[in-house]
Amino acid sequence: MSRFNKILLFIIAFVAVYFIPFESGLIQESILEAFHMVQYYAREHVLFCLIPAFFVAGAIASFLSKNAIIKYFGREAKKWIAYSVASVSGAILAVCSCTVLPLFASIYKTGAGIGPATAFLYSGPAINILAIILTARVLGWQLGLARVVGAVGFAFIIGIIMATVFKEEDQARQDRAMQVAPDTGEEKRSGLQNIFYFATLVLILIFLAWAEPEQAEGIWHTIYQIRWPVAVALLAVLAFMLVKWFDREEISEWLDSTWEFTEMITPLLFAGVLIAGFLMGRPGTEAGLIPESLVANLVGGNSLSANLLASVLGAFMYFATLTEIPILEGLLGLGMGNGPALALLLAGPALSLPNMLVIHRVLGTKRTAVFIVLVVIMATISGMIYGNLVL
CA atoms of 249 and 145, how far apart (whole Å): 48
Total residue count of the chain as it appears in this document: 391
Q: What is the pLDDT of residue 91?
A: 65
- Tell me whether residue 61 is exposed, middle or buried, using C-beta atoms within 10 angstroms of its C-beta: 0 to 12, 13 to 18, 19 or more: buried
Q: What is the pLDDT of residue 141?
A: 86
Q: What is the pLDDT of residue 159?
A: 92
Q: What is the pLDDT of residue 64?
A: 76
> In sequence order, what are the residues at sequence separation of 6 or more whose Cβ sits closer than 8 angstroms to the Cβ of residue 387?
302, 307, 337, 338, 339, 340, 342
- Whether this prediction's pTM lies above 0.75 is answered by yes
The pLDDT confidence band at residue 184, using thresholds 50, 70 and 90, is: very low
204-208: long-range pairs with CB below 8 Å, 24+: 204/52, 204/231, 204/234, 204/235, 204/238, 205/49, 205/52, 205/53, 205/56, 205/93, 205/95, 206/92, 206/93, 206/94, 207/231, 207/234, 208/48, 208/49, 208/52
The pLDDT confidence band at residue 185, using thresholds 50, 70 and 90, is: very low
How far is C-alpha 82 from the chain's CA centre?
19
CA atoms of 362 and 390, how far apart (whole Å): 39
* pLDDT of 183 over the 70 cut: no
pLDDT tens for 207-230 read 887 777 766 677 878 888 898 999
* pLDDT of 57 over the 50 cut: yes
CA atoms of 86 and 112, how far apart (whole Å): 11
The pLDDT confidence band at residue 284, using thresholds 50, 70 and 90, is: low
Q: What is the pLDDT of residue 275?
A: 86
The pLDDT confidence band at residue 356, using thresholds 50, 70 and 90, is: very high
Question: What percentage of the chain has pLDDT greater than the value 70?
Answer: 91
Task: From 280, 284, 320, 309, select the one nearest 383 (Cα to Cα).
Answer: 309
Question: Mean pLDDT, to the nearest integer, of 302-314?
Answer: 91
Whether 351 contacts 121, CB under 8 Å: no
* pLDDT of 24 over the 50 cut: yes
CA angle 329, 333, 335 (to 5 degrees): 120
For the ranges 29-33, 214-218, 278-282, the lowest mean pLDDT is seen at 214-218
| Higher pLDDT among residues 96 and 80, named by residue | 80
Sign of CA dihedral 27, 42, 372, 295: negative
The domain limits of the chain are 26-389
* pLDDT of 382 over the 60 cut: yes
Q: Locate all alpha helices (DSSP H) within the chain, ordered by sequence.
A: 3-19, 25-41, 51-63, 66-73, 79-88, 100-110, 114-126, 129-139, 141-165, 167-180, 191-208, 218-245, 248-280, 292-298, 304-316, 324-333, 338-347, 353-363, 365-389
Task: From 312, 323, 299, select the one nearest 379 (Cα to Cα).
Answer: 312
The pLDDT confidence band at residue 186, using thresholds 50, 70 and 90, is: very low
pLDDT tens for 84-95 read 888 877 666 666
pLDDT tens for 94-142 read 667 777 888 899 888 888 889 999 998 998 787 777 778 778 877 888 9
CA atoms of 152 and 259, how far apart (whole Å): 32
CA atoms of 99 and 269, how far apart (whole Å): 10
Question: What percentage of the chain has pLDDT greater than the value 90?
Answer: 26
